Amino acid sequence: MSLGHKSRRLSSNEALPASTQTVIIGGGVIGLSIAYNLCLRGYTDIVIIEAEYLAFGASGRNGGGVRQQWGTELNTRLMQESVELCNRFAHELGVNVWFRQGGYLFLAREEKQVARLEHTVELQKRCGLPTRMMRLSEAKELVPQLETRELLAACYNPTDGILFPWPFLWGYAEKAVSLGAKLFTQTPVTNIERGAGDFLVHTPRGTVQCNRIINAAGAWSPRIAAMLGVEIPTYPVRHEICSSEPLKPFLTPMV
Ligand SMILES: Cc1cc2nc3c(=O)[nH]c(=O)nc-3n(C[C@H](O)[C@H](O)[C@H](O)COP(=O)(O)OP(=O)(O)OC[C@H]3O[C@@H](n4cnc5c(N)ncnc54)[C@H](O)[C@@H]3O)c2cc1C
């Protein structure tokens, strides 16, 4: 299965329009979800510009984990909303994301990790999550493959889950395009010029004049910002994932 086919079908073969209200740079989950949500609110004069294909960036190459076990209230509540979004996504966008709430099991090998887990459990309980510290014997029942000899503690939330990330891109892209947004893949933004109250976004397929730019270029966002002389103090960090041959699911929670 490849996203190339979907990208080609959704992507416009026409020339870039001379002008639009909003240009979104980056066709990952952030750019496409912003496009969809703007369209829902009536802002359909949107051009999404993606340098490669829809799953080229992190949105096409991740673990699909959706966890609410975080160490700050803001992140925890954001992810509680994400779980709700994942549960209604198929119905709202007409595509199955294979969301499965098998839980997340965190393990601690050192006392300071145990203390951190205990602290986050209290925080998450205050947010209404059923997260709890778990005896290692119980963790072993949940994941029989677990080697518990070097572990001190475990912490578990049964409502965390995993999904297949690609349909999120298909769902958002299809709905945004059907509502009027235009998507251009294989179209790198090479430069941006600031005019009097507007911008000129340059690509090898032409230039678009727009009133607003949304920088959704993920790890590449500092490069886009630099085109306008803005420094974003973030930098990409390599994060590895290993694909195996297809296997039957053998873990209930994400460990
Ligand atoms: C190995 C790995 C595992 C992960 N696991 C998880 C997980 O389990 N759970 C989770 O929630 N998150 C996970 N993440 C993080 C998650 O994938 C990202 O936070 C998310 O996909 C970021 O989406 P994005 O749209 O911001 O960026 P991206 O998906 O990277 O999209 C940015 C897009 O911008 C485009 N672009 C760049 N430069 C230009 C340009 N000049 N012109 C036009 N387009 C341009 C790129 O081609 C790219 O398609 C993981 C990430 C990695 C790498």
* Distance from Cα 26 to the centre of ligand 1, integer Å: 9
pTM of the model as a whole:
0.93
User: Which residue carries 């039957």 as its tokens?
Assistant: 248
Q: Which of 11, 62, 224 to mutate to test the pocket of ligand 1 (most atoms within 8 A of CB)?
A: 62
Q: What is the pLDDT of residue 250?
A: 86
pLDDT over 50 (residue 1): no
* Distance from Cα 164 to the centre of ligand 1, integer Å: 14
pLDDT over 50 (residue 187): yes
pLDDT over 70 (residue 3): no
* Distance from Cα 51 to the centre of ligand 1, integer Å: 13
CATH 3.30.9.10 residue ranges of the chain are: 65-162
Q: What is the pLDDT of residue 8?
A: 59
Q: For the segment 113-134, what is each residue's pLDDT rounded down to a tens digit?
A: 999 999 999 999 999 999 999 9
Closest alpha carbon to 62 in 17, 32, 28, 87:
28
CATH 3.50.50.60 residue ranges of the chain are: 3-59+165-226
Q: For the segment 124-166, what is each residue's pLDDT rounded down to a tens digit?
A: 999 999 999 999 999 999 999 999 999 999 999 999 999 999 9
Q: Which atom of ligand 1 is nearest to the CA of 29?
A: 25
Write out the CATH class of domain 3-59+165-226. Answer: alpha beta
Banded pLDDT at 208 (limits 50, 70, 90) = very high
Q: Which of 34, 86, 208, 220 to mutate to test the pocket of ligand 1 (most atoms within 8 A of CB)?
A: 220
Q: Domain 65-162: which topology?
A: D-Amino Acid Oxidase; Chain A, domain 2 (3.30.9)
pLDDT over 60 (residue 226): yes
Q: For the segment 53-64, what is each residue's pLDDT rounded down to a tens digit?
A: 999 999 999 999
Q: Which of 23, 25, 59, 184 to mutate to test the pocket of ligand 1 (most atoms within 8 A of CB)?
A: 59
* Distance from Cα 33 to the centre of ligand 1, integer Å: 13
Portion of the chain with pLDDT greater than 90, in percent: 87
Q: Which atom of ligand 1 is nearest to the CA of 190?
A: 41
Q: For the segment 33-47, what is each residue's pLDDT rounded down to a tens digit?
A: 999 999 999 999 999
Instruction: Give the Cα separation of 45 and 248 in Å (integer).
Output: 44
Whether 63 is in the pocket of ligand 1, judged by its Cβ within 6 Å, is yes
Q: What is the pLDDT of residue 4?
A: 55
Q: Are strands 161-162 and 182-184 parallel, antiparallel or unpaired?
A: unpaired
Q: What is the pLDDT of residue 249?
A: 82
* Distance from Cα 218 to the centre of ligand 1, integer Å: 5
* Distance from Cα 138 to the centre of ligand 1, integer Å: 35
Q: Which of 23, 50, 164 to mutate to test the pocket of ligand 1 (most atoms within 8 A of CB)?
A: 50
Beta strands in the chain (DSSP E): 19-25, 46-49, 65-66, 104-108, 132-134, 153-157, 161-162, 182-184, 191-194, 199-203, 206-215
Q: Are strands 132-134 and 191-194 parallel, antiparallel or unpaired?
A: unpaired
State the CB neighbour count (10 A cutoff) for residue 112.
9
Residue type present at position 126:
R
140 burial type by CB count under 10 A (0-12 exposed, 13-18 middle, 19+ buried)? middle
Whether 64 is in the pocket of ligand 1, judged by its Cβ within 6 Å, is yes
pLDDT over 90 (residue 69): yes
